[in-house]
Copies of this chain bind each other. A is one copy, B any other.
Amino acid sequence: MTRKHKVMALDAGPPDRLEPEIAEYFRKCEEKLGFVPNVFRAYAFDNAKLKAFILMADDLMLSDSGLSKTEREMIAVAVSAINHCHYCLTSHGAALRQRGKDPELGELIAQNYRAAALDRRQKAMLDFATKLTEEPDKIEDTDRETLRKAGFSDRDIWDIAAVASFYNMSNRMAAAADMRPNAEYHYWVRERSEETAPAALKRQPGPAPVAASASPRRRSARGD
């Protein structure tokens, strides 16, 4: 299907001339993932837009946080499930299978996190992300308080909100532009044993952030 050879349904213009910083970022994607994610190619018609998107995405998903990187992928995937986002369920579903080293859990969150045997903390985290996605206008103090009681700091709540909100943006961008994920994602971490993920991914699960601006002040609580 020729459709697969386009990264999206919109013809937003030819690729911009990549800034050196972005070109280097793309090179690292190729090296580590084996490809440049199509979402970046979709944004590549304009360096400013691409750079802002990468900066924000990498900061949210990779910088220090009280949420583990796996937990952030869980939020990304749970939000994308509500919004039925083909692109993000494929790419972040793959990332979650890889991060969580559990192909079954990755699928499960992409289907319905309520069917997972999550601990209270992660259940509260995804309940909040869900309410924020479905009825943002109904968030109240009690919702924040529930997260605090589940062990989250205010800074953690910010991060839960920021990841959930970002995918509410990305899901819509992917839907509006009909972005198509790289086919490779489908085949990541599908084997029963977790020994099968590509070595590169294991060592360093994504490209380094474009700007290493996040200060080392805070450590991820969950071993990544």
Q: Which residues of A contact B (CB under 8 A)?
A: 1, 3, 9-13, 16, 45-49, 51-53, 55-56, 59, 63, 81, 83-87, 89-90, 103-104, 107-108, 110-112, 114-115, 117, 128, 132-133, 136-141, 144, 154-155, 157-158, 160-162, 164-166, 168-173, 175-178, 180, 183, 186-187, 190-192, 211, 213-215
A96→B99 CA distance, assembly (Å): 26
A1→B104 CA distance, assembly (Å): 12
CB distance from A44 to the nearest CB of B (A): 12
The reply to whether A172 and B164 form a contact with Cβ atoms under 8 Å apart is yes
A168→B135 CA distance, assembly (Å): 11
A77→B216 CA distance, assembly (Å): 37
The reply to whether A213 and B56 form a contact with Cβ atoms under 8 Å apart is no
The reply to whether B187 and A190 form a contact with Cβ atoms under 8 Å apart is yes
The reply to whether B107 and A90 form a contact with Cβ atoms under 8 Å apart is yes
The reply to whether B107 and A186 form a contact with Cβ atoms under 8 Å apart is yes
CB distance from A65 to the nearest CB of B (A): 10
Which residues of chain B have C-beta atoms less than 8 A from A103's C-beta?
Answer: 186-187
* 8 Å CB contact of A161 from B162, B176, B187: B176
Nearest chain-B residue to A169 (Cβ)?
A: B169
A112-B86, A177-B161, A214-B46 known; A183-B10 Cβ under 8 A: no
The reply to whether A114 and B85 form a contact with Cβ atoms under 8 Å apart is no
A52-B56, A81-B84, A214-B48 known; A9-B172 Cβ under 8 A: no
Nearest chain-B residue to A161 (Cβ)?
A: B176
Which residues of chain B have C-beta atoms less than 8 A from A214's C-beta?
Answer: 46, 48
5 contacts between A and B (CB under 8 A): A112-B137, A115-B178, A136-B171, A136-B176, A139-B176
CB distance from A90 to the nearest CB of B (A): 7
CB distance from A166 to the nearest CB of B (A): 6
